[in-house]
Amino acid sequence: MIDAKEKYVTDSQGNRVAVLLEVEEYRRLLDALEELESIRAYDTAVAVREDAVPFDKAIEELKRDRA
């Protein structure tokens, strides 16, 4: 479980408009998100029963999609 120590930026009415995180916490969240995306992509591929894609081609596609 993530134990975030976030701070909030508020507007003049006191509404929360942004979150401040420590850099390490931000990086952990990004790593967790990347892992979740990989799991979802795998689950989707299994669900549609696509043909296997060679690893090198899969990496190229991921890089292209993120550009």
- DSSP secondary structure, the chain, as one string: ------EEEE-TTS-EEEEE--HHHHHHHHHHHHHHHHHHHHHHHHHHTPPP--HHHHHHHHHHHH-
At 36, is the pLDDT very low, low, confident or very high (cuts 50, 70, 90)? very high
**Is residue 42 scored above 80 in pLDDT?**
yes
Could you tell me the pTM of the whole model? 0.55
Q: Which residue has the higher pLDDT, 52 or 57?
A: 57
Would you state the pLDDT for residue 2? 61
pLDDT averaged over every residue in the chain: 87
